[in-house]
Amino acid sequence: MKASELAVLKELLATPKKIVIVPHKNPDGDAMGSTLALYQYLVKTGHKAHVVSPNDYPKFLKWLPYEDTVVKFDLQNKKAVRLINEADLIFTLDFNALSRVAEMEPALQNASAQFVMIDHHQQPDDYAVVTYSDTSVCATCQMVYHTFEMLEVTDLIDADMATCLYTGIMTDTGSFRFRSTTATTHQVIAALIAKGADNALIHEKIYDANNFSRMQLLGTALTNLHRLEEYRAAYITLSQEELDAHDFQKGDTEGFVNYGLSLENTVLALIFIENKQEGIIKISLRSKGDFSVNLMAREHFEGGGHTNAAGGKSDRSLEDTVAYFISILPQYKEALNE
Ligand code: 5GP
């Protein structure tokens, strides 16, 4: 964060404020961990704070400290709109454009509050008075920790806050394996464990919470795994029918895309998931090395993200979306074989 922006943030937080903290739609571990840690800090320091999420999040996050205080915009619309309208300050965490909150965007656009963005995605929009954006940091949770360092308030981090921050760093780094995981990340993690984050328990709560139908759905996904060897690519499809047959719940397909990338000699993996209710195919893209799925998602699938992890969507049918993906691969052949 620039010194001038830090000064603005300090000034904004110098007196008690009404504050709303917003994660992106379909929040993941990093979005929920970062918003809930910031929430606890703000409440501790005398602000009236609420996390307002565009929609619900997966069951494997429903143990995070204070998650039961989260207001869901789609389910508790009146309350959410009132909090947004009354807010002096709105923090947007783990996203880079207001469109990432989908149906909640008009409410944020109409808000009279000032905005603070803390985010690690590429090409942030310019809507905040403080924009703390760093694409080199693995997780927004690590950036929230750095924010606490800059505000000189790390002594306020207790076990609950540490648990939230640990969770987001763990989930956004694939358990500390992605290239974005640095020595600094491990130093932050060490500090969080020292403050009471129970690493073994957090791993268990996130990764050992599978129900039987999710494992069966994974079986179907692996059966649908295709390899495109000349492009060092792999993809998985899941139709609405297949999801329904396995009692699909939000979050059940989290991580499936990585199985494609775990095939030897594969540098690009996608998963195409049909969503009949929204009339779209939701796409997750992952890559290894320098191949940018952020660019592929931006150019072809109305999305974006990071170099090695991005998301997007398509209005075509599942079959046509896959056919379109295969049709664009020749233009990437050289880059995929570098
Ligand atoms: P996932 O595949 O896990 O949903 O998302 C991977 C990364 O891409 C995350 O950082 C996520 O924020 C970003 N992402 C996912 N979907 C979209 C999208 O539709 N638009 C943009 N801009 N980013 C996305």
Nearest alpha carbon, ligand 1 atom 10: 305
| Domain identity same for 196 and 225 | no
Q: Are residues 86 and 105 in the same domain?
A: yes
Report the atom number in ligand 1 closest to the C-alpha of 298: 22
The pLDDT value recorded for residue 338 is 87
Strands 130-133 and 114-119 turn out to be: parallel
In this structure, which residue's CA is closest to atom 22 in ligand 1? 304
CA-nearest residue, atom 2 of ligand 1: 284
**Are residues 164 and 269 part of one domain?**
no
Boundary-marking domain end, from 163, 181, 207: 207
Q: Which domain holds residue 43?
A: 3-207
CB 273: neighbour CB atoms within 10 A? Answer: 24
Which CATH number is 267's domain given? 3.10.310.30
Do 179 and 222 belong together in one domain?
Answer: no
Secondary structure string (H, E, C) spanning 26-79: CCCHHHHHHHHHHHHHHHHCCCEEEEEECCCCCHHHCCCCCHHHCEECCCCHHH
**Residue 171 and residue 84 share a domain:** yes
Domain count of the chain? 2
Together in a domain, 135 and 162: yes
Q: Are both 72 and 9 inside the same structural domain?
A: yes
Q: What is the mean pLDDT of each run of 10 residues along the chain (338 residues)?
A: 96 98 97 98 98 96 98 98 98 97 97 98 95 97 98 98 98 94 98 98 95 96 98 98 95 94 97 97 97 97 94 98 98 95
Residue list, ligand 1 pocket, CB within 6 Å: 284, 303-306, 309-313
User: Do 148 and 252 lie in a common domain?
Assistant: no
The predicted structure's pLDDT at residue 106: 98
Residue-level pLDDT at 298: 97
- For residue 50, the CA-to-ligand 1 centroid distance in Å is 24
Return the ligand 1 atom nearest residue 95 CA. 12
Could you give the ipTM of this predicted complex? 0.95
pLDDT value of residue 30? 98
Nearest to 116 by CA among 13, 224, 209, 249: 13
> What residues have CB less than 8 Å from 50, skipping those under 6 apart?
19, 20, 21, 39, 69, 71, 83
At which of 152, 181, 207 does a domain end? Answer: 207
- Residue 51 alpha carbon to ligand 1 centre in Å: 20
306 CA to middle of ligand 1, Å?
A: 8
pLDDT at position 251: 86
Report which protein residue has its CA nearest ligand 1's atom 14.
Answer: 311
Question: At 337, phi and psi to the nearest 5?
Answer: -105, 15
pLDDT at 250: 83
The alpha carbon of 13 and the centre of ligand 1 are apart by a number of angstroms equal to 30
Domain C-terminal end among 171, 191, 207: 207
Same domain, 125 and 142: yes
pLDDT at 223: 98
Report the CATH number at residue 63. 3.90.1640.10
Question: Is the domain of 186 the same as that of 53?
Answer: yes
> Same domain, yes or no, for 74 and 189?
yes
159 shares its domain with 197 = yes
Is the model's pTM score more than 0.80? yes
Rounded to the nearest 10°, the torsion over CA 133, 90, 63, 138 is 0
- Specify the pLDDT at position 84: 98
- The rounded Å distance from CA 227 to ligand 1 centre is 23
